[in-house]
Amino acid sequence: MKSLRMTLRASTLLIAAPAFLVIGCADGEPAPTAVEAGAFVAEAEIRLAEVAEEAAHAAWVQANFITEDTEYLAALANERAIGATMDYAVGAARFNDLELSGDVRRKLDLLRLALTMPAPDDPTELKELTQIASSLESQYGSGKYCPEDDECRDLGDLSRVMAKSRDADELLEAWSGWRTVSPPMKDSYTRFVELSNAGARELGFADTGAMWRAKYDMDPDDFTTELDRLWVQVKPLYDDLHCYVRRRLNEAYGDATVPLDGPIPAHLVGNMWAQSWSNIYDLVAPPGDESAFDLTAALEAKGVNAEEMVRYGEAFFTSLGLPPLPETFWQRSLFTQPRDRDVVCHASAWDIDNEDDIRIKMCIEITAEDFSTIHHELGHNFYQRAYSKQPFLYRESANDGFHEGVGDVVALSVTPSYLVEVGLLDEAPDSSADLGVLMRMALDKVAFLPFGLLVDQWRWKVFSGEIAPDAYNEGWWDLRQRYQGVAAPVTRSEADFDPGAKYHVPANTPYTRYFLAHILQFQLHRSLCAAAGYEGPLHSCSIYGNEEAGRRMIELLEMGQSRPWQDALEATTGQREMDATAILDYFAPLGEWLEAQNEGQTCGWS
C-alpha cells in the first residue's frame, strides 16, 4: 500500500538544464544571492510540476498494462525526470551558505531530499538505473509460480491459499512458490544499490539509506534513536501476542512444526510475508468467543461489490467535511483485476496531476482486509487533494508516515457501531465481543510492527554495505528472527532472494513510513476521539460524522509539508513527539488478557 505521487520520478519530455544551474561561483563570478535562491525555487516548482503529470501517466500505463513497451516508456520517463530532479537537488546546494527566509530554505532542503532513488550524473548510468528499476517492478507485477504438473498461479492465487488453508504442506508450497519469482531479481538489485548509492553520494550523503533517514526534520542519527524508542514502547505487547499465537499454532500443528521455544514458521500465520496474522483468527480466537462480528461475511451477505466498497470509504471521509471524490476518480481508477492482462495488483493511491486527478489501483476482493485497505488508500487521495492548494514542493504529507497513517485513522473508526450506522451490521455485538474484536485488530496492527521496522533496517544495511550481496538472504532472515520471532519454514540460501518477494523492495518504496503510520494512527485516533468528546474505551470510538474531529483532521491535511512534522503533530494532538502509548491504551483489555494467558508459559525465542 502506498501513495503514488510521481512528481519526482518521471517525465516523458526531455528536460533542458535549469537556467540557474549554470550560474557558477568560480573566482571572479558573483556569489549567489537570496533573490536568486527564491527565483531558483520558483523555477523548480514550475518545472517539476510539469514533469510530474507526464511521469504519472507513464507509470500508470506501465502498472496497468505490463509489457516490454510500457516498461521501456516508463523507464525512459523515469530517466528524464530523475535527471532533472538531480540537477535541481545539486543546484540547491549552491545556496547552502545564504541567510534565507524560512520558506525558501525549507523548499531548498526538500529539493535536496526529493528522490528516493538518487541517480548518478553520468547519463549512461542514469539510464541503466531507471531501466533496472522499471524492470524490477515489472518482474514483480507479472511474477507467477509455475509448477511442472499444474497451472501457473499468481500472487493473488497464492495469497488466497495462505489466508484460507490449514494444511501445512499446502501452505509451504504456496510460500515457497512465490519465492521462485524473486531470485532472478538479485543481480539487478545488487547493481541498483550500487548506482543509487553513487547518486546519493553526489548529493552529499554516505549512501541511499542515509539520504532516506535525513527526510524527517531531525538529525538522521536522532531519527534512528527515535525508532528504537518507539519499538521499545510497544515490544512488550508484541511479545505477549507472539507467545500466545505460537502456543495456539503449536496446538494446531504440533511440536515438530511449531516448537514452543523458537520462532514461528513464516508460512503458518495467514499472510505471504507474515506481516499480518489476521487470517488465522480462527486458530487463535479467545476460547468461547463466538460473538465477534465477521465483516467479510457481512459484506458478502449484503452483496457488496468492489465499487460499493470504495463508496463506503468515500462516505466516511465526506462525513468529516471533506469534499466528495471527483467524477474522474470513478472513471479512471482500477478496482478489479482484469482478465486479459497482467497488472500490478498491489494497492496504491495515485495523484496524477497534483491537483484533482486522483485514483486508486487495486484488485479488490470482498473482504474485511480490503475494506480496511480501501480506507487506507482513500486516505492518501483525500490527503493529496487537501494539500493541492499548497505550493508544489509542499504538496506532500508532514512526513511519509502521516500519509500512510491518515487512512488508517479512519479505518480505526470502522467499529461495530459505525457498521450498524451504515447498514453493514443489523446490531452491534455485546461488549463481551470486545476481546475478539481486539484480537482481530492486534493480529493485523500489532503483529505488523516489527515487520514495518525491519524492512528498511535490512535495506539501510544493504545500502551501507554492512550486508553484502553474498549475505542478502542471511541478513534478511537474521532481522526477521530478531525483530519478529519468525523463521523461514525451509532452508534458505544465497541462491534465494527473499526480500525481493516483498513488493516494496523491487519497487524501491521506503518502508519505515508504515511503521510510523502504525504509531501515528493510534496517536491521532486518541486525540481525535478526545476532540470528539468521546469518553469510553478507545477501541470503541468512531469519529464518523463528528464535526470537530473532522475540522482537526482537515487542518492537518491542508498543511501538507509546509511545516515540520512536529508542528503538524502538535496542531492535532498537542504533542511534538510520536507516542506509541496510544497503542497500549487501545489494546489495554487484550494486553491484560494475554498476560494472564501467558502466565507460566515460556515466551521469547532463541
Q: What is the pLDDT of residues 342-384, one digit of tens each?
A: 888 889 999 998 889 999 999 999 998 899 899 989 999 999 9
- 412 located within any domain: yes
The answer on 253 and 123 residing in a single domain is: no
pLDDT at 23 over 60: no
Q: How many domains does the chain have?
A: 2
Helix residue ranges, H only, 142-219: 155-164, 168-178, 186-202, 208-213
**Amino acid letter at 107?**
K
pLDDT at 298 over 70: yes
pLDDT at 291: 55
Q: Which of 128, 149, 184 is the last residue of a domain?
A: 128
Indicate the pLDDT class of residue 16, thresholds 50, 70 and 90. Answer: very low
More confident of the two residues 429 and 565:
565
C-alpha cell at 562: 509546509
C-alpha cell at 431: 461488549
Q: Which of 128, 148, 170 is the last residue of a domain?
A: 128
The answer on 529 and 385 residing in a single domain is: yes
pLDDT at 4 over 70: no
Indicate the pLDDT class of residue 318, thresholds 50, 70 and 90. Answer: very high
Indicate the pLDDT class of residue 2, thresholds 50, 70 and 90. Answer: very low
- 40 located within any domain: yes
pLDDT at 29: 62
- In the set 140, 511, 514, 544, the catalytic residue is 514
Round the CA-based radius of gyration of the chain to a whole number and report it: 24
3-class SS shares of the chain: helix, strand, coil, % to 5: 60, 5, 35
- 254 located within any domain: yes
Summarize pLDDT for 499-547 with one digit per residue, the tens.
999 999 999 999 999 999 999 999 999 999 999 999 999 999 999 999 9
pLDDT at 246 over 90: yes
pLDDT at 24: 40
Average pLDDT, the chain: 91
pLDDT at 407: 85
pLDDT at 31: 85
pLDDT at 263: 98
Summarize pLDDT for 406-439 with one digit per residue, the tens.
889 998 998 888 999 999 998 887 776 789 889 9
- 187 located within any domain: no
- In the set 267, 376, 403, 525, the catalytic residue is 376
Distance CA 233, CA 392 (A): 36
- 214 located within any domain: no
pLDDT at 577 over 90: yes
The answer on 395 and 257 residing in a single domain is: yes
Q: Which of 77, 101, 128 is the last residue of a domain?
A: 128
Name the residue range of residue 28's domain.
Answer: 2-128
Q: CB pairs under 8 A, 24+ apart, for 282-290?
A: 283/166, 283/248, 283/249, 283/252, 284/244, 284/245, 284/248, 284/249, 284/439, 284/443, 285/436, 285/439, 286/435, 286/436, 286/439, 286/593, 289/433, 289/435, 289/436, 289/439
The answer on 482 and 339 residing in a single domain is: yes
Indicate the pLDDT class of residue 41, thresholds 50, 70 and 90. Answer: very high
Summarize pLDDT for 165-210 with one digit per residue, the tens.
999 999 999 999 999 999 999 999 999 999 999 999 998 899 999 9
The answer on 406 and 534 residing in a single domain is: yes
Q: Give the rounded distance of the alpha carbon of 106 from its chain centre.
A: 25
- In the set 44, 266, 347, 501, the catalytic residue is 347
Residue indicated by cell numbers 493529496: 384
Mean pLDDT of 568-573: 94
Half-sphere exposure of 334 (CA within 13 A, CB side): 21
- In the set 137, 314, 377, 396, the catalytic residue is 377
The answer on 253 and 121 residing in a single domain is: no
pLDDT at 74 over 90: no
The answer on 484 and 341 residing in a single domain is: yes
pLDDT at 326: 96
- In the set 375, 380, 518, 525, the catalytic residue is 380
- In the set 346, 375, 403, 539, the catalytic residue is 346
The answer on 238 and 109 residing in a single domain is: no
Summarize pLDDT for 204-244 with one digit per residue, the tens.
899 999 999 999 999 999 999 999 999 999 999 999 999 99
- For the question of residue 349 being annotated catalytic, the response is no
Please report, rounded to a whole number, the percentage of residues in the chain having pLDDT higher than 70: 94
Q: How far is CA 535 from CA 19, 154, 414, 540, 541, in A?
A: 58, 46, 17, 10, 8
- 364 located within any domain: yes
- In the set 57, 375, 403, 504, the catalytic residue is 504
The answer on 227 and 109 residing in a single domain is: no
- 172 located within any domain: no
Start-to-end CA span in the chain (Å):
32
- 136 located within any domain: no
pLDDT at 75: 82
pLDDT at 50: 85
Indicate the pLDDT class of residue 292, thresholds 50, 70 and 90. Answer: low
Summarize pLDDT for 45-57 with one digit per residue, the tens.
998 888 878 888 9
- For the question of residue 504 being annotated catalytic, the response is yes
What is the DSSP track for 27-95?
A: TTSPPP-HHHHHHHHHHHHHHHHHHHHHHHHHHHHHHHS-SHHHHHHHHHHHHHHHHHHHHHHHHHGGG
Mean pLDDT of 32-38: 94
- For the question of residue 346 being annotated catalytic, the response is yes
pLDDT at 77: 82
- The pTM of this model reads 0.88
Q: How far is CA 366 from CA 101, 132, 270, 283, 424, in A?
A: 51, 35, 17, 22, 13
pLDDT at 10: 29
Mean pLDDT of 456-472: 98
Q: Which residues contact 73 (CB under 8 A, 6 or more apart)?
A: 12, 58, 61, 62
- For the question of residue 380 being annotated catalytic, the response is yes
pLDDT at 87: 87
The answer on 363 and 258 residing in a single domain is: yes
- For the question of residue 242 being annotated catalytic, the response is no
Least confidently predicted of 37-41, 137-141, 564-568: 137-141
Distance CA 349, CA 375 (A): 11
